[in-house]
Amino acid sequence: MIKLALYLTFALLFSACSVKTYERTQTKVFIIKSPKIKFADTGYIRNSDEKIELELFMAGKCIEKISVNHLICVSDGCMSKASFNKDYLSTFYDDDVLQNILLGTPIYGGKNRVKTNDGFEQNIKDKYVDINYKVTPHAVMFKDKKNNIIFNIKDTE
C-alpha cells in the first residue's frame, strides 16, 4: 500500500511538469518586474484550454520556462499556485492571477471591471494591493504599486 501511494505521488509530481502539447503559440514582448523575476525581452506564450507555458528568451536563449496547470513549474521545480505567488509575486494575490495575466482575462473574479473601447480595465486597491490592470487586443498591462510588480505584455510588431 505504501509503495502504491509513493508511486502515485511521484507520477503526479512528474506529470505536472511533463512535456505538453499546446494549441496556440504567440510571440510577445515582455517586461516583468517582481521580487524574483526581472526580464525585458521576447518570449512565447503557449496554451491550450487546460495549460499555459511562458518561455522567456534573452539574446535568443531560453532563460526560463514557467508552466501553469494545477501546479506552477519553474526551473526550481513545481509548486502550488499559492506558493508561487508567495515566492515570486505577492501572497495577497488570487491563485489564478498569473494565468489570468498571461491569457489577458479578468483578475479577482472580474472585480471593478470596466469595459473600454478596445478591452477592459480593472483597478483594485486595498491595504495589500494597488493594482491597475488593462487589457487590449494587443497588450496586457498589470501594475501593482504597493508590491512593486509589473507585467507588460505586448504583441511583437
What is the arithmetic mean of pLDDT over 99-125? 96
pLDDT, one tens digit per residue, over 24-65 is: 888 999 999 998 889 999 999 998 878 899 999 888 888 889
- 152 - beta bridge partners? 31, 141
52, burial (CB in 10 Å: exposed 0-12, middle 13-18, buried 19+): buried
Task: Report which of 104, 122, 106 is spatially closest to residue 54, judged by C-alpha positions.
Answer: 104
Q: How confident is the model at residue 112 (pLDDT cuts 50, 70, 90)?
A: very high
- 136 - beta bridge partners? 139
CATH of 2-155, one of 2.50.20, 2.40.50, 3.30.420, 2.60.40: 2.50.20
